Structures are given as C-alpha cells and as structure tokens.
Chains A and B, each alone.
Chain A
C-alpha cells in the first residue's frame, strides 16, 4: 500500500512540474500584461518601468525558477487586475467551485444510478431504451445552452430560482458555504443541474453495462435460485459489485466537473475558480493564470492518487498484486 502511495506521488509531482512549465510558457505568449494593465495610452517610459517592476524583462528560465521557488512556499504573487495576493483570491474561490462540482457529481449520480439500474434490471421493457436515448440528449446539449434555458424557465418565467450568484453564504473558518442557507441552496440547483446533465449519460451507461455483466454471474444466479427477493439480489448484491468502477469514474468525473465548471460559472456568475481564470485570461493576469493551472494540475493528480488508493483498498485482489509488483 505504501509503495503504491509513494509511486503515485512521484508521478503526480512529475505531472505538476510539467504542467507548471507549460503554464509558464503559455503566459509568455498569451499577451502583454503591461499593455493590459496600462492600456494603449501609456508612454514607453511607463511601460519600461512597469515591465522592470514586474520582472518581465528577465529571461523566462530565471523567472520560472523564482516562480517555482515562491510557489512551493505558497507565495503566488499579486494579481495584476485585483491587486491582491493570488493565494487569497484562490482560497476565496475554491469553496464555490468545490461545492458546485460536488453538487453536480451528487446530482449526476442521483439521476444516473437509478436510470442505469432501471435500464439494466428491466432491460426487456420498452422504456429501457427510451431512458438511454433520453440521457444522450443530456450529453448533446452544451452546458451553456442548458444553463440559459434553465434560467429563462426558472428565473424569468417562474421566478423560483435566482439567475446569478451564490446567494447568502456562511463562513466556516476560511471556507464559505452556501449549503446552510435557503438562498444558497436555491442558487446552487441550476448551475449544478446544468453541469450534471452532461454527465448523466455516462454514469447511466456505465451502471447499465456493469449491472448487466454482474447480473449474468454465477453468484447472482445462485442467489436467485436460493429464493432471495429480487430487490435484495439487484441492490444488495449486484449493485455493490458494480460500484467499484463507478467510484473510479466518479473520481475522474470530479476532475472534469471542476474543469467544466468554468462554463456553468460564467453563465451563472458563480464566483468560483473558473470565472476567476476566464477573467485572468481576458486581462492577461499572469500570476493568476499560472497559479490556477498549477492548482488544477495538483487537484487532478491528488484525485487520481486517492482514487487509486480507494480502488486498491476496495478490491483485495489489487492489493496483493500491487505489493507483489512492488517487491519484484
């Protein structure tokens, strides 16, 4: 187990390093921050002074080394457009994106699991294929379009849900949560739903495929032969065994959800990391761009490690193989 952890961590660090190099190269081609900050009316002297002040006239390898050195200590510099420390900005925005991504994940599972189970258990009925087709529609509609449609239905026509923002948030330590207030929950529904809809098809298909396979196995047949209730057979036995790949996929999906949250965040003006990144790109806010990309890489890498560990923990067969591989 420890071997797995150590090997995965080494891989993760390598990935983060590569991403940081790419992020840095990106920032040098994405535009001129000095022109963005000062506007096109700045005199050459002002621009030279600012360029020197921001350290942009040095060759990028030396800038990269100092950036990396600072990043390791948690120092990400000051945002050009917000004029505040980048670390503060990131900390402020992480809770919003995390809550959105988790809510979307929970929703996609809450919709996808029953759909997939129903399609598998009642695969001979007519609505099984209808369910599958329906979920494809969810994938085909872009998050942006779903979001706008939901807004016009629930905010403009019905007036039930807010069309933008996070509602009232409660601070718990440095984390701000919208889950403890009624307005916060109302504001979370539509963004989470528009994100989740594109994932439902994937979850449903996966669950259906896995369930179909498991339902064919011997131990299920014996359980039925034993006379156990169908519900117990399907849920307690079959479903439990399909959960392992679901967990793996969900972990990876969480990473995608955090990335696709950008779209939902820009439609619903959700104050999360995605919106921050979009605005940083628009105003060539280099410190925020590089910090965000590194954070994203770190997040993805961490999730994958956790999923691998969970996988190894859940499936005893993998544990033996892992340690055996380690020894050899």
Chain B
C-alpha cells in the first residue's frame, strides 16, 4: 500500500515538473547576449570618487557617466553636459542634458551634478585634477557653474573624469561622504553598490570573483552594441587568463601578455587588438644637484660633480640609445617610439616635432669628451620591476647601450612600493626609468606636473622626480594654464616641446600598447584609456 502511494507520488511529481519544464521551454527565449571578459586586477571599489586606479575606473565607467564624454578616439564629446562655455572670471558654465534618469528611476538634475563635483574634488585621489575648483553652483535645474581659483582652459577635458552620482541616493544610503580608510565600523555602502546613469547597471560586485552588469534600457545615449549582460572576472595569473580565453570560458581578455600575442593570433577563431596607451617610458636624469647620487668615477671613488646636469651629457645619452631596437627586440614590436613628450591623441601633440634623437654613438662619445667625461663614468639606474611591461629588460638594454659609449650602468631593480617610496619620500634618484603620461590627457599637464621646476608645496613639477629645470619650459608651464587663445596655445606647446627635446628633459623611449585578445565573433573597440565601452561591443555568431 505504502509502496503504491510512494510510487504514485513520485510519478505525479515527475509529471508535474516535466510539464513545468515544457512550459518554460515553450515560452519565447529573450535575446540575451552575454559577454564574459577577464582582466588582471579586480575593481577596487564601485565608488567612483574613492579611487583613481585606471582599471577600476575603466570598469565603473560602464555604470557612471562623466560630465563630459570621451569618444573612442579620446576626443571630448557631450556627455551628461550637452555644452559648455567659458564665462570669464574663472567660471565655466555647463548645460546639463534633460531627461536623464539614474538606474533606480530618479531623474538627474543640476543639483546632482554640482554635488558630485564638490564630492569628487574633495577626494584625496583627485587633488591634482580638481583641487583648483572652488565652487560648483546649480544655477537652475539644468545649468551648473564651476568656479575655479584660477582660469582653467582645459577644465572640460578634465571633466571627462568627473563622475556623476545622485545626491538623494547617497543621502538615503548614508554615503554623502566618500568612504574613508581607517574608519571604524562597517564598510561604505557605495563600495559594492552603484546607482549611476551609465549604459550598464551593476547587479553584483564581488571583488575577487565577479562583477556583473545588465543593460540599462533607459540609457540616454547611443547603444550601438548588442550586449545585454556582462560579467567581469579578475584572473591574476597570465597563463590562466590566456587559457580561459582559449577554452572559451571568457570571450575577451584585457592585458594579453606580449609572449602570448603570436599564439592567440595564430589560433583559429581568435584575434588580437591593440592601441597605444597614454603612457610612455622615459629615462629621467638629475637636472639640478651639485653632486649626482649613486654615481662614481671609473676608479669607484664617488664622483664630485653631476654629469647629468650638463646638457651635452644628456644629449650624449639620448643619442646612444636605439629606441627602435628596444621596441623591436624587448617589446617585440608592441610599442611605438616616442620623440617628444607627447603622443598622438593628447591635447597639444605636435606631429612634425615627433622625431626621436638619431642613434649616433660616435656623436655621443664626442659630446661626452666635450663635457669633460672622455672615459665616461659609473652610475646606478633605478628600475621599477614589473610595474610596466618588460621593465627590467628595457633597463638592461639601456645599460648595454650606454656601456658602448663608456658609461657603466648598474641596474638597481626595485619592487614598486620601494621605488615609489624612493620618489615620494625623497626624491632620491639621479637616474631612473619610469612610465609617465598626462593626467588630464593634455600635454599641458606634462609641462606643469613633470617638467616644471619642482616646488612640491606649490604643486609645481610634482612628478619632476629627477629635478629637471629649464627657464623656457617654466615659462610655458606658467603661461599655458591661463591661455585660452588657441593659436597662442599651439605656439606655446611647440616652444615647450622643442625646448624639452633640445635639452633632453628626459630620454623618451616608447609608448606602451594596450593589448586585448578576443574571439573573432566579438567586436570590441579599444580605447587609449584602457576602457572597454560595453555599449559598443557587438557579439556576432
């Protein structure tokens, strides 16, 4: 009796569940295009004002729009702000687009924009970019005035990194202040939750495991792609990342290691996409000290002068390094030689000036002799290991090239925290390799932050770690930030870039490439700030 009842019960359940399953499959399936992609590091936080890490930024850009938009060619285009004009008196006026709603449905107004500006400008990660802003005022529902402490001709370009959040949403979730470190108690709400205006909505953020998005059906802008769902996984180990692409578990990986490019290109069904990054490697040399650090005479006694302060020595070094050879051999062709302190796509780039110093070791030796170092000298090259692509190999290549003109270079490899500490607590380095690029994607930044005579208190030449100093460049660095006339600006860029190249502000080497690997069926445009713009991704058959 019992067995029969049991049998009947099981049969009924089986029948019922199969009917249910059948009805599910009868219902029309929605067109779901899912993109699974992987990168090296996770997004640190989903609060756009709490970090300036470029990988994290590339990820939350899917969710949070910037005030001014960026096209795929890194041109500034309308974003949340439809238009902008300079009113004079250090004030820029931004007209806010109407009809924009946040992901939870609430509408965006100028109040949200003004609040976001003030919140981000107070972030300790954005003092360099937005510290000059004094006030942001919502003039009416769709107009915001931004008042700075000094005239700022490139503010609109800087606003491509100003992210708009909802003031009311932040208030409801107790997050009007950016979650601070060392705070007691629970984590900030905005670390793992997001409410933006961007083309994708955040559904889950579990930092080490997965960050998931779904399409924002009410997006105000263009959505040419067909992605409805996207999942980002960090995979730190490079071979594992490549394996995940090859096995089909992910359809796209950012950060494809150089040694695997050939393999992916050779594999059927996969392709490699590259674009130059706004970051180039350069050798910085002591410009001011009386006695160079970590430098010796050929008999190992400490040197009593600073060879790097002599322009002839700087030029000698510049002419002794074959940057194209480094690109061909060390970078396996995956880099672009840089001839001036700027790159295509950056504001102020001058194409005709972009010619690297001629490789001429004979001239180098003559210059060295002229400067008083006919037999060269010994010096230490500080090298940040693993921070950039093939950093150590680049340092060793430089060392062997300089050896040929008589300068013995001892490569001192340091891990990044150590290297950073050497710069930040000092700076205490006369000769080092470093990667650099203007914060605001405009060459003006390179003048004011990297080449200007260093005065940390006044925030001048803050990144001028080797203490290069030149009057003409200082003049350009002072005048450019307050010049609105386009013709004069171009003139200043040219003067500055030429003078820097003549006096070798640094030995510019090569611009790094952003390299992605993806399945053939995926079309994903690549942008120089390493952002995968999900709204432009098309997943084919």
Contacts and interface: CB of A to CB of B under 8 A. Distances in A.
Nearest to B178: A83
A164 B249 contact: yes
Nearest to A88: B187
Interface string A274-291: 011011000010000000
Nearest to B462: A41
A53 B187 contact: no
Contacts of B127: 42-43, 46
A126 B456 CA distance: 75
A32 B424 CA distance: 10
B26 to A, nearest CB: 26
Interface stretch (B88-96, B211-219, B236-244): B236-244
A266 B236 contact: yes
A49 B207 CA distance: 27
A22 interface: no
B236 A275 contact: yes
B179 interface: yes
Nearest to A38: B124
Contacts of A275: 208, 236
Interface string A33-54: 0011111111110110110011
Contacts of B209: 165-166, 271
A93 to B, nearest CB: 8
A145 to B, nearest CB: 10
Contact of B462 (A43, A166, A284): A43
Contacts of B181: 37, 50, 53-54, 78, 80, 83
Interface string B339-363: 0000000000000000000000000
B421 A269 contact: no
Interface string B435-458: 000010000000000000000110
A148 B239 contact: yes
B233 A164 contact: yes
Interface string B201-243: 0000001110000000000000000000000011111011001
Among A44, A80, A151: residue with most chain B CB under 10 A: A151
Interface stretch (A108-116, A152-160, A216-224, A299-307): A152-160
Nearest to B449: A41
B164 interface: no
A84 interface: yes
Contacts of A279: 208, 236
Interface string B46-85: 0000101000000000000000000000000000000000
A74 interface: no
B125 A38 contact: yes
B417 A35 contact: yes
B237 A156 contact: no
Nearest to B191: A83
Interface string B187-204: 110010000000000000
A47 B425 CA distance: 10
Contact of B424 (A30, A35, A276): A35
A77 to B, nearest CB: 8
Nearest to B209: A271
Among B187, B247, B421, B425: residue with most chain A CB under 10 A: B247
Contacts of B244: 155, 163-164
Interface string B112-135: 000000000000110110000000
A28 to B, nearest CB: 12
B234 A39 contact: no
Contacts of A267: 237, 239-240
A18 to B, nearest CB: 26
A84 B462 contact: no
B468 interface: no
Contacts of A38: 124-125
A32 B124 contact: no
Interface in A62-93: 77-78, 80-85, 88
B187 A85 contact: yes
B183 A78 contact: yes
A267 B421 CA distance: 29
Nearest to B38: A164
B463 to A, nearest CB: 7
A155 B248 CA distance: 9
A284 to B, nearest CB: 6
Nearest to B129: A41
Nearest to B250: A164
Given A53-B180, A151-B240, A163-B243, A39 B421 contact: no
B249 A40 contact: no
A88 B192 CA distance: 14
Nearest to B386: A282
B398 to A, nearest CB: 21
A164 B235 contact: yes
A40 B419 CA distance: 10
Nearest to A31: B417
Given A36-B417, A47-B424, A151 B243 contact: yes
A49 B125 CA distance: 13
Contacts of A166: 209
A39 B182 contact: no
A40 B183 contact: no
A14 to B, nearest CB: 30
Contacts of A84: 187, 191
A150 to B, nearest CB: 10
A163 B249 contact: yes
A162 B418 CA distance: 37
Interface string B153-195: 0000000000000000000000000011111101110010000
B358 to A, nearest CB: 32
Given A78-B187, A162-B249, A156 B243 contact: yes
Contact of B247 (A39, A77, A82, A156): A156
Contacts of B249: 155, 162-164
B8 interface: no
B463 A41 contact: yes
Given A53-B181, A80-B181, A39 B52 contact: yes
B412 interface: no
Contacts of A37: 181
B209 to A, nearest CB: 5
A134 interface: no
B240 A83 contact: no
A39 B125 contact: yes
A268 interface: yes
Nearest to A80: B181
A326 interface: no
Contacts of B243: 148, 151-152, 155-156, 163
Nearest to B184: A78
B456 A43 contact: yes
A142 interface: no
Contact of B208 (A31, A44, A46, A276): A276
A155 B186 CA distance: 39
A42 B182 contact: no
B462 A32 contact: no
A40 B424 CA distance: 6
20 contacts: A31-B421, A35-B424, A38-B124, A39-B52, A41-B439, A50-B181, A55-B182, A78-B182, A83-B179, A83-B181, A84-B191, A155-B247, A155-B249, A165-B233, A267-B239, A268-B240, A269-B208, A271-B208, A276-B208, A279-B236
The 7 closest A-B pairs by CB, nearest first: A31-B417, A84-B187, A155-B247, A54-B182, A35-B420, A46-B124, A163-B243
Given A50-B124, A275-B236, 13 more contacts: A30-B417, A35-B420, A43-B459, A47-B424, A77-B182, A78-B184, A82-B44, A82-B191, A88-B187, A148-B240, A156-B247, A164-B235, A279-B236
